[in-house]
Amino acid sequence: MNKELIINAAPQGVEIALLEDKKLVELHHEKADASFAVGDLYLGKVKKLIPGLNAAFVDVGFEKDAFLHYTDLSPYARSLLKFTQIAINDNSPQGFNFATFQVEPEIIKTGKINEVLSGKPNILVQILKEPIAAKGPRLSCEISLPGRFVVITPFNDIVAVSRKIHSAEERKRLQKIVEAIKPKNFGVIVRTAAEGKNTAELHEDLAELVETWQTIQGNLKGAVAPAKILSEQTKTTSILRDLLNEDFNRVVVNDRNIYNDTRNYIQRIAPEKADIVSYYHNGLPIFDQYGITKQVKAAFGKTVNLPSGAYLIIEHTEALHVIDVNSGYKSVGNNQEQNALETNLEAAAEISRQLRLRDLGGIIVVDFIDMKLPDNKRKLLEAMEECMRPDRAKHAVLPISKFGLMQITRQRMKPEVNINTQEVCPSCAGTGKISSTLLLEDEIEKNLSYLITHQHKDLTLVVHPIMHAYLTKGSMFKSKQWKWRWKYGQKVKIRENTNYHLTEFHFFDKHDDEIKL
């Protein structure tokens, strides 16, 4: 599969588009003033304990207190509390040696929140979910620091290897390597990307993460809650960290700083792929150049059309998302069951893409076209599971129910991407009516007369192509353009622009700067 990452930097933030075989599958927007991103670490102050919910509300600096449930406390919550206090009060120049830290006993799974967080202490927490709608962030005390090949979890000594590495020998090899190089008081999860990697590569990745943990210790020194202790990497580098593989063959960036950062990051984690990063500085907007703007316009909105003529209707309610599959004008042959299967398989591929693209989370109910044969229902389920496999969010797909509905659950970690693809008509401003085109010619001539009497020369008039054809039609001496030249004693260039609406026009001077009227 051909994977490309197109990064569009603008003053209001950075947009990141992931293309698979030229098709847009993920769209991320990182605002310039973004805060509370998943993975960020904060020193929070416990504000309120809710025994009925077995949860606590923690002040991390957001307008609404963040939510911390007992199940997200981590078995090592007491160790984390102890570490937080030691790190805040530490006065040693080099920082205390974490390898000598005495880990506290684990908390029990069925315990109570007020037994662990009594006294409302300060605690180091990690953002589990970004603020969504009116809710504050959701927190976790199970601190994890992800790298390219491994993830470290402080306060335990467990080594786990990704189940996606199927070879038993390879799993054992990786386990032995990590156990040999792992520092004390750190647990390590070996990621799928570590398959086939040597000791030096794993050690380098692990050493960088341990260094990050030391930075956290340093940032905690003297900190006053609420305070940000460590920011997760930018979305660009976190996406690269999670996705970069042999299929990832191009990263295009239109900002010099992000280009340098991205190239340096790839140079560090995969030197052989550093040349896939390129700097884009052509005149056309980068998303237009790579066809992303058009795909965004086509993919968002209530109705999504499929190549065969079938279409999806996507509705959002407070509790869930509902997707209806319609056959549209798709030709109906003799075999209705086969037609239904083909349409449903096409829809399954598009639905899996839509879930990633819009980042839909929670419960999704899909109303596929009814099929009678159990074999076909099984094929559709297998196809949906296969299409959802590249999705990095945790998800589950249930078989089609007796009502012909498929239920999908998908992890929600941030607000869904919602782009309004409908625009207010610039000609009528939404009223449905525009001024008469007969009057437009008079208005243009009135403005032209004003500019010429104020000593403007070498004027260029830019209009819609239809208006351009009207003003330049006829023989040389009969067109409006010629009549104006004869009347005002100077030539007026007329240029067309397909982006203008019918009644839009602008005058430009000889330097091609617009003249404001």
pLDDT digits over 87-107, tens only? 998 887 777 888 888 989 999
**Distance between CA atoms of residues 285 and 309, nearest Å:** 31
Residue 428, SS3 per DSSP: coil
Residue 31, SS3 per DSSP: strand
Domain 40-230's class?
A: mainly beta
pLDDT digits over 285-330, tens only? 898 888 888 888 888 878 888 888 889 999 988 788 999 999 876 5
Per-domain residue ranges of the chain: 3-34+234-292, 40-230, 301-410, 437-515
| CATH no. of 437-515 | 3.30.2320
* Closest CA relative to residue 463, chosen from 509, 499, 425: 499
pLDDT digits over 417-461, tens only? 666 556 667 667 666 777 666 678 888 988 898 898 888 888 999
Backbone angles phi, psi at 288, to 5 degrees: -70, -40
* Closest CA relative to residue 440, chosen from 497, 505, 495, 492: 505
pTM of the model: 0.61
| CATH no. of 3-34+234-292 | 3.30.420
Residue 344, SS3 per DSSP: helix
Q: What is the pLDDT of residue 36?
A: 61
pLDDT band of 38, cuts 50, 70, 90: confident
Q: What is the pLDDT of residue 148?
A: 82
Q: What is the pLDDT of residue 236?
A: 66
> Which fold would CATH assign to domain 301-410?
Aminopeptidase (3.40.630)
269 has pLDDT over 90: no
